[in-house]
Amino acid sequence: MAKILCVLYDDPKSGHPKSYARDDIPEIKGYPGGQTAPTPEGLSFNPGELLGSVSGKLGLEKYLADAGHELVVTSDKNGPDSRFVKELADADVVISQPFWPAYLTPERFAMAPKLKLAVTAGIGSDHVDLQSAIDRNVTVCEVTYSNSISVAEHVVMMILALVRNYIPSYKQVIDGGWNIADCVQRAYDVEKMHVGTVAAGRIGWAVLKRMHPFDVHLHYTDRHRLPLEQEKELGLTFHESAEDLVKVCDVVTINCPLHPETENLFNKELISKMKKGAYIVNTARGKICDTQAIADALESGQLAGYAGDVWFPQPAPKDHPWRSMPYHSMTPHTSGSTLSAQARYAAGTREILECWFAGKPIRDEYLIVHDGKLAGAGAHSYSEGDATGGSS
């Protein structure tokens, strides 16, 4: 019997839903590039249900109980007296989501001598100290591609919301007003703007494809340059560095993983090299941006707007500067946790567990760390080292 410690976000304030806005969701069987959607041996939930909160339990409860395993689910993850920390000592598997990350720091790895598997239900494993996982031979997995398109859609929505000044216009309606000048004094067209992505992997490429019909100039930078035919398909301009890219872009969207080389990449110096009045959209990781540098740039006018749904730490404290800075369109970390995405990353989590318990190989595209080294998707996207320092 194994003990699975699962950290999920809290249920809705009104309680776990008894009904839903829609009766079904479209079935996704595969992704661009040929990767298939998760293929577990079975499911114990109906796609479209709320699975990412505590009562949803990622749809794992019946499956794990029938197999004789112990499942502990909690949202209490912060601080030395949290239930997460208290349950770590005899946990064999830890599961959490990027939206409510259970930070596995070196100190917490030391508290978990039995830990053998850390699963990210979703995409992004930077909340796990990958170097500690390597040193302790802990396998780290994530459900690659399960919510990439969900995030890409969120990016496009935020670009339009910022440039078109949507939120102040919406507030006019809510507040009973009708001052059109107040709404449009910061509103522009996206057409013919220069839009660039830092990283053109699954999410970055999907953003570029979705922005192409808006008749914009598209740019990207990435440690792995795209094939020439892909660049030609969308008319992309490649830049060797983020510094080169930001100098020419009106909108910059951040879609790279968090690792030591990208931590605080968007600092005061880099932001000062951007076009005055540019916009940043960050759905990657909060720590890729220097918190105070972003707030200061909005106050000074160097940036015209900042949007994103990633913060550091998560959940963000009530006094986080990004809550009160001007011209922002921040959301909680929701971009990759739609009910549609939850069905896929819950199914992928079960697929990983089925393979793990059966001693079968886990898909290479799901592996981040395995056999004491970066592996699979992790070897392509991450660097060894700690990018979660200070999470406590």
98-125 pLDDT per residue, tens: 999 999 999 999 999 999 999 999 999 9
309, 330, 351 — which closes off a domain? 330
Q: CATH number for the domain including 239?
A: 3.40.50.720
Q: Show which residues are catalytic.
A: 147, 285, 314, 333
Among positive and negative, which fits the CA dihedral 14, 15, 18, 19?
positive
What are the backbone dihedrals phi and psi of residue 173, each rounded to the nearest 5 degrees, phi first?
Answer: -65, -50
Whether 17 and 65 map to the same domain: the answer is: yes
Pairing of strands 367-370, 139-142: antiparallel
pLDDT at 33 over 90: no
> 130 pLDDT exceeds 50?
yes
Distances (CA, A) of 162 to 264, 280, 339: 22, 9, 25
Q: Is residue 385 part of a domain?
A: no
pLDDT category at 259 given cuts 50, 70, 90 is confident
In this structure, what token pair is assigned to residue 310?
Answer: 């990633």
Look at residue 391 in the predicted model and tell me its pLDDT: 45
Q: Are residues 357 and 246 in the same domain?
A: no
Report yes or no: 57 and 71 within 8 Å, Cβ to Cβ.
Answer: yes
Please say whether the beta carbons of 107 and 83 come within 8 A.
no
Q: Are residues 116 and 189 in the same domain?
A: no
Q: Which domain, by its residues, includes 15?
A: 3-146+337-376
- Supply 241's token pair: 């560095």
Encode burial over 344-367: b for 16+ CB neighbours within 10 A, e otherwise. bbbbbbbbbbbbbeeeeebbebbb
Q: Which residues contact 287 (CB under 8 A, 6 or more apart)?
A: 126, 258, 263, 264, 312, 387
CA 313 – CA 293 distance, rounded (Å): 16
Whether 333 shows a pLDDT value over 50: the answer reads: yes
Q: In the predicted model, what is the mean pLDDT of the chain?
A: 95
Q: Is 100 exposed, middle or buried (0-12, 13-18, 19+ CB in 10 A)?
A: buried
> How confident is the model at residue 392, as a pLDDT?
41
The residues that bridge with 5 in the sheet, in sequence order, are 72, 94
277: left (phi over 0), alpha (psi -120 to 50) or beta: left
| pLDDT at 386 (0 to 100) | 67
391 lies in a domain? no
Quick one: 157 and 266 in the same domain? yes
Q: What is the mean pLDDT of residues 233-258?
A: 97
- List C-alpha distances in Å: 69 to 141, 143, 349, 351, 359: 20, 21, 15, 16, 16
Q: What is the pLDDT of residues 37-79, one digit of tens each?
A: 999 999 999 999 999 999 999 999 999 999 999 999 999 999 9
Q: What is the pLDDT of residue 179?
A: 96
Q: Which tokens belong to 55?
A: 């009562």
Q: Please write the tens of the pLDDT for every residue from 349-390.
A: 999 999 999 999 999 999 999 999 999 999 988 877 766 664
Question: Is residue 104 classed as helix, strand or coil in its secondary structure?
Answer: strand
Letter string b/e over residues 292-301, b meaning 16 or more CB atoms within 10 A of that residue's CB: ebbbbbbeee
Q: Which of 314, 330, 346 is the last residue of a domain?
A: 330
Residue 29 has pLDDT above 90, yes or no: yes
Whole-number percent of the chain with pLDDT over 90: 93
Check pLDDT > 60 for residue 164: yes
As given in the structure block, the two tokens for residue 31 are 């992704």
